[in-house]
Amino acid sequence: MSTLIELTAFRHQPVWEMQAALYLLMIQAGAWAMLSGLAAQATGAERQRGLGAWGLLAATGLGLSAPLNLIAEMLGPHKFYTLIPRFNLSSPLSWGVAAISLFVLAGALGCVGLRRPLPVPRKAVAGLGLLAALSVLAYTWFEIARAAGVPLWADPYASAVLLASALPCGLGLALWLDMAHGGAAAQSLMARLVAALGALGAGGTLAVWGLLGSWPGTPGWPWGSALLAGSALALLLAGALFLDRPKSLSGSLLWACLLALAGGLGARLGILLLGQSAALGRAQGEPHMLGHADILGVLATPALFVALMFIASIIMGRPAKKEPAAPEVSAASAAPPAQPEAPADAQTAHGDPA
Amino acid sequence: MSIDRRTVLKGLGAGAALTVFASGYKPTLKAIIDPPKQTVASGPSLAPEATVDKATGEVTFNRQQYLAGSICLGCTSICGVRVRVDNESGSVLRVSGNPYHPLAAQPPAPYEASLADTVRALSGHQGSGLARRATACGRGNAVLDKLKDPYRVLTPLKRVGPRGSGKWEPISLERLVEEISTGGDLFGEGQVEGLAALLDGKPIDPASPELGTRANQLACIFGYANGRMQFFQRFAAGAFGTINIANHQGNCGLTMRAGYAAMLGDFQEYPHLKPDYANCTFYLSVGSAPANAGNPFMYQAAHAARARAEGGPRLVVVDPVLTNSDNACCGAKTEWVPVRPGTDGALVMGMIRRILETRGYQAGHLACAGPLAAKNAGEAAWTNAAHLVVADPAAKDFGQFLRARELSPEAAENALLARDVATGDLVAHDQAQGPCSIFFSGSVTTPARTVAVKTALQLLLEEAQSKTLAEYSKACGVPQADIVRLADEFASNGRTAVADCHGGTMHAGGFYTAYAVALLNALAGNLNRKGGTGIGGGKFKDFGPGPRYNLADFPKKAKPGGVRLSRQGFPYEKTSEFKRLVESGAKPYPARAPWYPFSNSVQSEYLPSALSAYPYPLKAMLFWASNPVYGQAGLMNTSAEQLKDPKRIPLMVCVDAFMTETAALCDYVLPDVALYEGFGCATPWAGPLSKVSSVAWPCVDSPVARTPEGDPVCMESFLIALAKRLGLPGFGPEAVADAQGGKHPLERPEDWYHRAVANMAFDAKPVADATQEDMEASGVSKLAESLARVLTPEEAAKAASVYCRGGRFEPVEKGWQGELLAARWEKPVQIWNENVARAINSMTGKRLKGTAAWIEPAFCEGTPVRAVYPEEKWPFLVVSTKSQLMSAGAVGSKRLHAIRPESEVAVCEADAARLGLRTGDKVRLETPDGSVEARLTVRLGVMEGVVAVEHGYGHWALGAKEMSFGAKTLPASPLRGAGAASNLLGLKDPFRKGFSTLGDIAVGANARNALPARIVKL
């Protein structure tokens, strides 16, 4: 037993929270990115076309990267193999594995569909993606909300904050990636409004509910409480920035995304930390917790996601063997994609010069 | 294909990101690709302590480790354990059961077997393996964490802030001893009288000489018989001369002890019975959880497991809460009988009534009024069932046995009268040859008078018939048909039906409940019989006058006298206070606080009495390995501020390995050895039927400060230093006499324990000498120098053999002699106990009942608790339950916290639905004098109207609160404070003056069960 760990367990959060928080943020943001992409595709609007593509790409990247946090969190990662074949109807974990597998499959199919024709109807792939994304959101909701031993998590507000805060992260990432590749979806007030509402809703809920439950004397005070307050503030700021029409890649959208990501991660860390602190569950302070606490270990899965997005960008920048069929668009939505504010070297979602 | 600059940059970005990923994820990837070859849940497993050639059985010990026999102090069962220690680091690797020890192995290894033999028996050689395994329980396995508890007390400490502030400064042992000896203005709060001043021989109060001398103004409070208490008692009673020395019983299981003491007629030694678990056929367990807790835990839990799995004795557990003792899979082999808290006495008295009315008792046994009659009838015990009791309320000796001398001056002084069945004549019990009448109500004429008498059993029958079965059923919540069924089943099992009870009877009517349970055994006639109940096999000689050394007596040994602060064992009517009141014409009743004329070990009265300064004020308290501030229900929640007031108890000193709640309120705290760090010679509770003597030795180094001699600063080294400073007898040079009259020093702990172990080794037939291989394998070779210094070579070789095996153990089969138990209780079974009947309630002036009875939990003057705190306002009753993992002292074990981080506070589904509660809800549990916040569990297996609070959690010390030691600060660990402390719900007694906690009306045991309560959802 490490004396240091026990004495500091409530002052420096164990890494279990960090990797679990990262996992929850990435997989839920991925689900929202998928839903954003599918919604953008469904509109058929040319301006949303890039969002449709980058939503799928970001979702797939996050879907591939996020579960690696869970594997790393396990004391014996080699035991991960044993989890998969053992499906347990009553286990959220089993449903989670199924949902994520479906999610990655749907995302991968969708991504392939961006570059070449698929042997299955696009609507079927979209339907699969929709089901997978909703399954992921539902599974993560239940995983937290059904943690009866940790009352803070079992509270529906906790799950609501988690889900809502992931919306601006997933949608914001897709919007920013689209914008980085010359897309104009971020110019759409509707898309930014959805992201802003998610951020403001999550930030507001967190500020009211989270802080009400963490005052002096509660186990998480003061660091967990400060974390929640900071996260709420970040989300509220992100919400405000989403409302601002982006003018450059390093402008308001980027800051909105970063603040949303920071707020989302902080909210998860705070909720997990306070929940565990209050419930003293999950063997808080166990020695193995410290074994994963290096910065590189924490950065690994976000780095993988970044790498995947670079690779996607390279691939998407190359000409497709055969262009996929153009989405059906209505005359009203077939507005010119280019915006006056778009950078001169911006590219379309397909990587082609604007 | 052309690659533009942008693509190159993207590629570089991807490469950099992948590098970060690979670096960060490398350990995980490595573990996935190349998993550890040999893993257990917590990583690579240990190298084995020995290897055994499966074919030849040859044992090769791993010389990097040794297997020390020791005593587990994870709870009070004191099981034998085998501690596996790393030779190089000196740290404990694993703890398992001691294969020689009957509590750890069934059957245990033969005592003659070498350590290699025991290792071989645990191997696959000749297929022994699991069948010969020796186990420690879950707690015993995990409690080793406590050795490295960051909150351990490592050096003598003196408070530097107000009492209870958590601010300490380290001081030397010498300075501490000097300060508490001489006193003075020790804390800048005024003069404190030192211990030396209490040895002046002056009376506490010249107007009340019966109180004794000022030495009694030091109270010495300790925990339990953990193998070291005799040393503490030697100092407190034998050397210092205080009568105020008490163990933890008053806060633990005193009602059970007192109930058996009443049955067995010995309130001094407090013997108790345990079933012959291996051979009984029906085991009624009242207010105890044989598979969760109790003593000896592993022994009875193993038998309970056998009962559940294979159908040994049919096990019926009567308790408000379903424990591990029963589950649906066991079918009819086990049964849970839910009972309303505090009313188990009603159930048992209902059973007694049914058994008596249907003649389900062993009439032949009960009719044996004396030893001759019992011998002639082939009985293993005799009872006073047929003895005649004066039944005339106007008679001076009302409630007392009719003495044979009243009829015949030649009769023996203590001979009592009974009616011979054959002749119908009165006969002295010691002359009775045949059966005597067990039911009789009439009058007897002696030369002096004609007086109404009844037999003891007649009085029990009338007491049982004072209520109908329907009334008993209504009181306890057990259907009448079930009471009848249980009674009939108990009776139908004859001599192999047994009943036992324990902590569940710790309520304000507990003594009479426990007496009733004990008397079920009397009706079954099972005492001293195979398959019945027994007092246990006892132990080999150790601390008493032994074959080699006399550790009990020494020149100038003090003879403590006077009245105990707890007012136990002394009738109020003999006090000067009473006499003064009578002489002045004032009403002597009620007294300021209850007196307990026949009770013993009433620790629960010490702190309230000290705070109240009644019957006299204390000057100092010395605690050792005891934590009444946490362990006494109702104390901290009603008297916290007063405990911190130095004016009430001027000097409080604690010796403990950990900063307990009690230590945290003391002025000085001394460290102590923990678990396997110290010596000890202990004996289990009565469960084992053959002789069992466990020993422990310092098989791991203690991290505490050292004396100049190199010994750990611990209870023994502190008391030696204190005794020498105070000039007390029994310590120092020439303090211990050997069998030949030689004198030996008592300067170090080993001077005491080695000699006790030598006594053990030479008791009866001496044990064989230790072999070099056993000494090496057990690590006892480390003791060789110390043994050689203290003992003769002959003694050292045999003592080493005992240390190697972790004690001395008689073969288990010696526990029985044919159909009888080898160790037998020879005194009569007391159906009627005249010591109890003679006692007067000092709050009312009324006599107590002399036999088992159903007494509703009540305040000290008899008002039922429910009359003051009605069900309408307090709809629940709180009971404390025990976990098989966590105990109050095990808090801080990481492994145990990982499994069970907080206590269960449980209600049944019906109550939860009524209040709109569900599992996980935060609630405040309130009693009239206390409250705790808790998270609720809603589950089956809790009786309606009951809140079950798991004991051992919710600490406010032991690390749960920030502490500073000089410049060093240890922050609080909420882990230690998690859960609810059931004792903060305890009640005070509103019918008493001064400070109090609710106690049993007859023996003063602390009432922690059947407390009125309500639940408030937060």
A76 in contact with chain B, both atoms CB, cutoff 8 A: yes
Q: Do B23 and A300 touch (CB under 8 A)?
A: yes
User: Within a domain: residue B628?
Assistant: no
Span B931-943, pLDDT tens digits: 999 989 998 899 9
What residues have CB less than 8 Å from B287, skipping those under 6 apart? B318, B319, B344, B501, B502, B503, B504, B505, B513, B1009
Q: Looking at residues B229-234, what average pLDDT do you find?
A: 96
Averaged pLDDT for residues B945-957: 94
Please report, rounded to a whole number, the percentage of residues in chain A having pLDDT higher than 90. 42
Beta-strand pair B968-970/B533-534: unpaired
Q: At A171, which CATH number? A: 1.20.1630.10
Tell me if A335 is assigned to some domain: no
Residues of B with CB under 8 A from a CB of A: 6-7, 10-11, 13-15, 17-25, 27-28, 31-32, 35-36, 39, 41-42, 145, 148, 150, 894, 897-898, 901-902, 919-922, 935, 970-971, 973-975, 978
Mean pLDDT (chain B) is 94
Q: Give the pLDDT confidence score for residue B976 in this predicted structure.
A: 85
pLDDT at B37 over 70: no
- Whether A218 shows a pLDDT value over 50: the answer reads yes
Predicted local distance difference test score (pLDDT) of residue A13: 37
CA distance A280 to chain B (A): 6
Candidate from B15, B25, B920 with C-beta closest to A148: B920
- Has residue B471 got a pLDDT over 80? yes
Pairwise pLDDT comparison (B5 vs B861), residue with the higher score: B861
Please report the pLDDT score of residue B425 as a whole number: 94
What percent of chain B has pLDDT above 90? 83
Q: Is the pLDDT of residue A333 over 60?
A: no
Q: Are the Cβ atoms of A77 and B31 closer than 8 angstroms?
A: yes
> Does the pLDDT at position A74 exceed 90?
no
The predicted pLDDT at position B967 comes to: 85
Check whether A76 has a pLDDT greater than 70.
no
Q: pLDDT tens across B861-886, in order?
A: 999 999 999 999 999 999 999 888 88
Distance from the Cα of B886 to chain A's closest Cα (Å) equals: 15
pLDDT in tens, B233-291: 999 999 999 999 999 999 999 999 999 999 999 998 889 999 999 999 999 999 988 87
More confident residue, A67 or B725: B725
Which of the four pLDDT bands, split at 50, 70 and 90, describes residue B901?
Answer: confident
- B32 CB neighbours in chain A (<8 A) are 71, 77-78, 80
Q: Identify all chain B residues contacting A317, using CB atoms and an 8 Å cutoff.
A: 6-7, 10
Residue A3 confidence (pLDDT): 29
Residues of B in contact with A275 (CB under 8 A): none
Is the pLDDT confidence value at B43 over 60? no
Q: Tell me which of B131-140, B574-583, B867-876 is least confident.
A: B131-140
Average pLDDT over residues A101-113: 92
Chain A stretch 118-157, residues whose beta carbon is closer than 8 A to a beta carbon of chain B: 148-149, 151, 154
Q: How many CB atoms lie within 10 A of CB B174?
A: 13
Mean pLDDT of B490-504: 96
CB of B950 closer than 8 Å to CB of B904: yes
Minimum-distance CB partner of B974 among A10, A76, A283: A10
Please report the pLDDT score of residue A24 as a whole number.
92
Q: pLDDT of B151-168, one tens digit each?
A: 899 999 999 999 999 999
B543 pLDDT more than 80: yes
User: What residues of chain B lie within 8 A of the CB of A148, using their CB?
Assistant: 919-920
Q: How distant is the Cα of B25 from the closest Cα of chain A, in angstroms? A: 6
Residue-wise pLDDT for B642-677, tens only, equals 999 999 999 999 999 999 999 999 999 999 999 999
| Mean pLDDT, range A42-53, rounded to an integer | 90
Interface test with A, best of B975, B976, B1017, B1018 (most A CBs within 10 A): B975
Structural domain of residue A219, as residue ranges?
15-317
- At B399 the three-state DSSP class reads coil
Nearest to B610 by CA among B627, B622, B600: B622
Q: Which residues of B touch A311 (CB under 8 A)?
A: 10, 14
CB burial string B394-409: b at 16+ within 10 A, e below? eeeebbbbbbbbbbbe
Beta strands at B157-159 and B497-501: parallel, antiparallel or unpaired: unpaired
CB-CB under 8 Å, B148 with A76: no
Q: In the structure, what pLDDT confidence band is assigned to residue B31 with cuts at 50, 70 and 90?
A: confident
Minimal C-alpha gap between B154 and chain A (Å): 15
Q: Is the dihedral of CA B758, B761, B763, B768 positive or negative?
A: negative
Torsion of CA B915, B918, B924, B928, to 10 degrees: 40
Least confident of B424-438, B568-582, B817-831, B892-906: B892-906
Amino acid at B897: H
Which chain B residues contact residue A287 at CB under 8 A?
894
Which residues of chain B lie closer than 8 angstroms to A6, CB-CB? Answer: 150, 894, 973, 975
pLDDT above 90 for B205: yes
Q: Is residue A40 part of a domain?
A: yes
End-to-end, the C-alpha distance of chain B in Å comes to 70
Nearest Cβ partner for B28 among A6, A71, A279: A71
Q: Which candidate from A78, A219, A297 shows the least CB-CB separation from B974? A: A219
The distance of A299 to chain B (nearest Cα, Å) reads 7
B chain contacts of residue A152, beta-carbon cutoff 8 Å: none
Provide the domain count of chain B. 2
Strand B282-286 and strand B274-275: the pairing is unpaired
The reply to whether A89 touches chain B by the CB within 8 Å rule is: no
Residue A34's closest CA among A51, A49, A55? A55
Region B727-732: mean pLDDT is: 97
* Residue A314 with chain B: CB contacts under 8 Å: 7, 10-11, 14
Is A304 at the interface with chain B, CB within 8 A? yes
Whether residue A8 lies inside any domain: the answer is no
Q: Report the alpha-carbon distance of residue B527 to residue B416 in Å, rounded.
A: 22
- The pLDDT tens digits for A262-309 are 999 988 887 777 766 655 433 333 333 333 446 788 889 999 999 999
Instruction: Categorise residue A261: left if φ over 0, alpha if ψ from -120 to 50, beta otherwise.
Output: alpha
How far apart are the CA of B37 and the nearest CA of chain A, in angstroms?
11
Sorting pLDDT into bands at 50, 70 and 90, what band is A79? low
Whether residue B384 has pLDDT greater than 60: yes
Query: Could you list the residue range(s) of the whole structural domain that residue B23 is in?
Result: 1-35
Query: Which of chain B's residues have a Cβ under 8 Å away from the Cβ of A297?
Result: 24-25, 27-28
For residue B920, the domain's CATH number is 2.40.40.20
Residue of chain B whose alpha carbon sits nearest to that of A150? B920
Average pLDDT, chain A: 77
Q: Please name the residue of chain B whose CA is at the shortest distance from the CA of residue A69.
A: B25
Query: What φ, ψ does residue B808 adopt, rounded to 5°?
Result: -125, 135
Kind and range of the H or E element at B730?
A: none
Q: In which element (H, E) is residue B889 found?
A: none
Q: With beta carbons under 8 A apart, name residues in chain A contacting B901.
A: 279-281, 283-284
Cα distances (Å, whole numbers) of residue B584 to B576, B580, B587, B841: 12, 6, 9, 21
Cross-chain Cβ contact A304/B23 below 8 Å: no
**Closest Cα in chain B to A73:** B28
Cross-chain Cβ contact B10/A149 below 8 Å: no
- Which structure tokens are listed for B438? 């067990």
Peptide bond preceding B615 in cis form (omega within 30 of 0): yes
Which pLDDT band holds residue B810 (cuts at 50, 70, 90)?
very high
Higher-confidence residue of B492 and A269: namely B492
**Region B386-402 average pLDDT:** 96
Q: Is A314 on the interface with B (CB under 8 A)?
A: yes
pLDDT recorded at residue A348: 37
Tell me, yes or no, if A319 comes closer than 8 A to chain B by beta carbon: no
Is residue B299 in some structural domain? no
Is the predicted pLDDT of residue A7 greater than 60, yes or no?
Answer: no
A10 within a domain of the structure (yes/no): no
* pLDDT at B127 (0 to 100): 80
- A247-260 in b/e form (b: 16+ CB < 10 A) is eeeebbbbbbbbbb
Interface probe for A, chosen from B4, B7, B32 (most Cβ of A below 10 Å), is B32
Tokens of B319: 């308790």
- Min Cα–Cα distance to chain A from B137, Å: 20
Write out the DSSP string of A95-147.
Answer: HHHHHHHHHHHHHHHHHHHHHS--SS-HHHHHHHHHHHHHHHHHHHHHHHHT-
Which residues of chain A neighbour B42 with C-beta distances below 8 Å?
288
B559 belongs to a structural domain: no
Minimum CA–CA partner of A9 in chain B = B973
The confidence band for B945, taking pLDDT boundaries of 50, 70 and 90, is very high
Mean pLDDT of B998-1004: 96
Both tokens of B550, joined, read 């006399």
Q: What is the pLDDT of residue A327?
A: 44
- Note the pLDDT of residue A221: 64
Residue A353 lies in a domain: no
Amino acid A122: pLDDT: 85
pLDDT of residue A2 exceeding 50, the answer is no
Six-digit token pair at B274? 């345990």
Residue B27's pLDDT band, with cuts at 50, 70 and 90, is confident
Work out how many domains chain A is built from and give that number.
1
Q: Classify residue B960: in a domain, yes or no.
A: yes
Confidence tier at B329 by pLDDT (50, 70, 90): confident
Q: Is residue B388 part of a domain?
A: no
Residue A322 in domain: no
- B-chain residue closest to A317, CA distance: B7
Asked whether residue A174 carries a pLDDT value surpassing 60, the answer given is yes
Residue at B891 is within a domain: yes
Q: Specify if B860 maps to a domain.
A: yes
Give the mean model confidence (pLDDT) for residues B768-776: 97
Q: Is B965 helix (H, G, I), strand (E, B) or coil?
A: strand
Establish if B19 belongs to a structural domain: yes
Of residues B322 and B178, the one with the higher pLDDT is B178
Q: Does A275 map to a domain? A: yes
Which among A68, A219, A311 is the nearest to B14, CB-wise?
A311
Nearest to B11 among A76, A279, A314 (CB): A314
Q: Is the confidence at residue B1005, as pLDDT, over 90?
A: yes
Asked whether the beta carbons of residue B32 and residue A317 sit closer than 8 angstroms, the reply is no
On whether any CB of chain B is under 8 Å from the CB of A249, the answer is no
pLDDT at B45 over 90: no
Q: pLDDT value at position B231? A: 97
**Between B21, B922, B935, which is nearest A300 by CB?**
B21
Residue A340, Cβ density class (10 Å: 0-12 exposed, 13-18 middle, ≥19 buried): exposed
Residue B297's pLDDT is what? 85
